[in-house]
Amino acid sequence: MLKIECPPQNTRMKSHYDVAVVGAGVLGLAHAYHLARRGLKTVVFERTPHARGASVRNFGMLWPIGQPPGPRYRLARRSLEIWREVLQASGLWYDSTGSLHLAYHDDEAQVLDEFVHLAGDDCSVSLLDASAVTRRFPALNPEGLRGGMWSDTEVTVDPRQVIAGLPGWLNRTLAIDFVFGTSVLGYDRPVIRTTGPECRADRLVVCTGADFRELAPQSFAEAGLVPCKLQMMRSAPYGPEFRVGTMLAAGLTLRHYQAFSACPSLPALIQRFDSEMPEYGKFGIHVLLSQNGLGELVIGDSHEYGAAISPFDNSRIDELVLQYLRTFINIPDLRIAARWHGVYVKHPTDLYVVAHPQPGMMAVTGVGGAGMTLSFGLAEQTIHAWLGDSHG
Ligand SMILES: Cc1cc2nc3c(=O)[nH]c(=O)nc-3n(C[C@H](O)[C@H](O)[C@H](O)COP(=O)(O)OP(=O)(O)OC[C@H]3O[C@@H](n4cnc5c(N)ncnc54)[C@H](O)[C@@H]3O)c2cc1C
């Protein structure tokens, strides 16, 4: 049974820290982890009583396969290595499910075939024919199935559970202090102004996700970040009789992840999608599915950018997502138990954005739809670039 832990009660603040981290989303937690492992006295401020940003609203897909082969894929693999150490040590639920991209048209199968050849030995992927796919994953729709691309690397976590559970573990094992329900308002080194008691730290790391603008307005304006809204759904839980067995993606995903951009047949595939399924393009829909430890299916998503973002969700998007989902998986008695949206910020070309708005302050954001996957590897990189091998 999956347990969602309450974050630790606010720990007793020391008068002075080596480093303070703003934000207890996945990037804040990953940075705090690496800083404390260097022996730095670390405190994390989170403005809400439980982190509620993108880090608890996602699929829980630790998904290196979404990164193009080469340095980005290697960073994702390194990140996963650290995630595994953290998950094993903390005892938080995870499942080494791998991932499967399905092809129901020849042009989709062609792109997968090209990807596997281009990736070479870089990625641990292989092609499965239709009968191998349905033998292994019986819930999948055999009709029209051309085959799939299997990757054994990906790991599923429950974002609500890990983001709630990690602070307690980080406090117990690395003595990281946490202050929830407290906003950081500004930093006049070493003084941190907050909505609670003042605190001092020699350095400040800002991991405030889409709220980056507030603490570093100038850097935000220069960074060229774009916000993106995604609509999501979660089913009622299924018992052991219905386990999908892996995380799923299908044809529409091939145009979404940069990983596939080098495939020569991709432009023709995108043209077909645009002419046959224009509404999917309009809302940036591709369909992914993961299943958590409670047996709930997490289903999404859409991508609406910048000024197109409405505070209200669009039920047509959910209909389109479910319609496409039903083309590749037969889900018994699907009941949607929760609907929500999340917002992240992304950079048009860079994998993430690091800014140094003032001495002693580093802001990290813009990791878009790959923040869960990249978090621990990215934080290792940013801290190394900032502090080198020293302890700051
Ligand atoms: C719907 C959706 C699905 C996704 N699916 C995946 C996936 O399956 N796999 C994957 O790898 N990535 C996925 N992503 C991307 C990933 O979730 C994000 O990249 C990642 O969570 C960003 O983490 P963060 O810590 O930067 O931001 P956040 O999670 O938003 O955390 C920022 C935190 O800072 C706090 N904060 C802000 N300002 C202040 C302040 N002044 N003082 C104190 N606290 C403050 C906020 O309250 C918040 O808790 C998905 C994203 C979305 C929206």
Q: H or E segment at 273?
A: helix 266-276
What's the average model confidence in pLDDT over 288-298? 97
Report how far ligand 1's centroid is from the alpha carbon of 308 (Å). Answer: 20
pLDDT of residue 122: 79
Instruction: Encode pLDDT of 257-283 as tens digits.
Output: 988 999 999 999 999 999 999 999 999
How far apart CA 63 and CA 74 sit, in angstroms, is: 12
**H and E: helices and strands count for the chain:** 10, 20
Average pLDDT score over the chain: 94
pLDDT of residue 4: 60
In this prediction, residue 9 has a pLDDT band, given cuts at 50, 70 and 90, of low
Of ligand 1's listed atoms, the one at least distance from the Cα of 288 is: 8
Instruction: Encode pLDDT of 82-98 as tens digits.
Output: 999 999 999 999 999 99
Calculate what percentage of the chain has a pLDDT beyond 70.
Answer: 96
Q: Is 228 helix (H, G, I), strand (E, B) or coil?
A: strand
Q: Which of 163, 194, 208, 288 to mutate to test the pocket of ligand 1 (most atoms within 8 A of CB)?
A: 208
- Per-residue pLDDT for 7 more than 70? no
Output the residue whose Cα is nearest ligand 1's atom 27. 209
- Per-residue pLDDT for 1 more than 90? no
- Per-residue pLDDT for 129 more than 90? yes
Q: Tell me the whole-structure pTM to 2 decimals.
A: 0.96
- Per-residue pLDDT for 392 more than 60? no
Spatial CA neighbour of 372 closest among 20, 29, 8:
29
pLDDT of residue 13: 82
Q: H or E segment at 19?
A: strand 16-22
pLDDT of residue 293: 95
Report how far ligand 1's centroid is from the alpha carbon of 226 (Å). Answer: 14
How far apart CA 198 and CA 215 sit, in angstroms, is: 16
Ligand 1 is surrounded, with C-beta below 6 A, by 22-28, 45-48, 51-55, 57-61, 63, 183-184, 207-211, 214-215, 230, 232, 300-301, 342, 344, 365, 367-373
Of ligand 1's listed atoms, the one at least distance from the Cα of 232 is: 1
pLDDT of residue 55: 98
Output the residue whose Cα is nearest ligand 1's atom 21. 55
Of ligand 1's listed atoms, the one at least distance from the Cα of 371 is: 19
pLDDT of residue 219: 84
Report how far ligand 1's centroid is from the alpha carbon of 275 (Å). Answer: 34
Report all structural domains of the chain as residue ranges with CATH numbers, in order of start.
16-56+160-224+350-387 (3.50.50.60), 99-152+226-346 (3.30.9.10)
Of ligand 1's listed atoms, the one at least distance from the Cα of 290 is: 8
Instruction: Encode pLDDT of 69-78 as tens digits.
Output: 999 999 999 9
In this prediction, residue 11 has a pLDDT band, given cuts at 50, 70 and 90, of low
- Per-residue pLDDT for 3 more than 70? no
- Per-residue pLDDT for 10 more than 70? no
In this prediction, residue 8 has a pLDDT band, given cuts at 50, 70 and 90, of low
270 by Cβ neighbours in 10 Å (0-12 / 13-18 / 19+) ranks as middle
Of ligand 1's listed atoms, the one at least distance from the Cα of 182 is: 43
Q: H or E segment at 202?
A: strand 199-206
What's the average model confidence in pLDDT over 35-44? 98
Q: Which of 59, 75, 214, 234 to mutate to test the pocket of ligand 1 (most atoms within 8 A of CB)?
A: 59
How far apart CA 121 and CA 263 sit, in angstroms, is: 16
Instruction: Encode pLDDT of 330-374 as tens digits.
Output: 999 999 999 999 999 999 999 999 999 999 999 999 999 999 999
pLDDT of residue 390: 67
